[in-house]
Amino acid sequence: MEKEERLIKKTRIKKIPEAITEDEFLKIIRAVKKKHHKIAFILGFYGCMRISEIVNLKPENIDRGQRLIRIKQAKGHKDRNIPLPPQATRGLSHIPLKCGIRALEIAFKSYSKKVLGKDSYFHILRHSGATHYLNKKKWSIRQVQQLLGHSKIQTTEIYTHVTPQILIEKMWED
């Protein structure tokens, strides 16, 4: 019986989180009271950063001169550099954050429910940011792959969503 249960768990298909739009994200940001939550959410969306990367971020990892965030020992024990999102520059004084992973997860879920009426998880910010750069900012899939720190382009493809609105706009282009 144990072997069957393990096999079932292994073969379950993971549900990919839906993305939120930049407008939806900005509605959430406008409702956020605590500045350290606001900068964390901004880094999650515009920096496409994982929650653990945000919580572990230190002031010395931010190079304002080169406009880079140096992420140390991220998933897979990899380091990577990402561009400093312009939207994050005013909130960098709140790094390091004064809260942990679970507190951020609870805060984001609460704001998402209150503002959008959606039961969303913090990781949706990473998906949504990737989708934003690909669809709205017209970044190439390769550029988004570099930002996310994926070694395989197939992983990046999972992170990007084509919204119905994008399809409608493409259909009606001249």
Catalytic residue among 111, 132, 159, 161: 159
Catalytic residue among 38, 50, 127, 132: 50
Query: In the annotation, is 123 catalytic?
Result: yes
Query: In the annotation, is 12 catalytic?
Result: no
- Angle of the 35-46 helix axis to the 22-31 helix axis, nearest 10: 170
Query: In the annotation, is 142 catalytic?
Result: no
Catalytic residue among 27, 34, 80, 123: 123
Query: In the annotation, is 6 catalytic?
Result: no
Catalytic residue among 75, 114, 137, 142: 75
Query: In the annotation, is 159 catalytic?
Result: yes
Query: In the annotation, is 126 catalytic?
Result: yes
Catalytic residue among 38, 126, 127, 132: 126
Active site residues: 50, 75, 123, 126, 150, 159
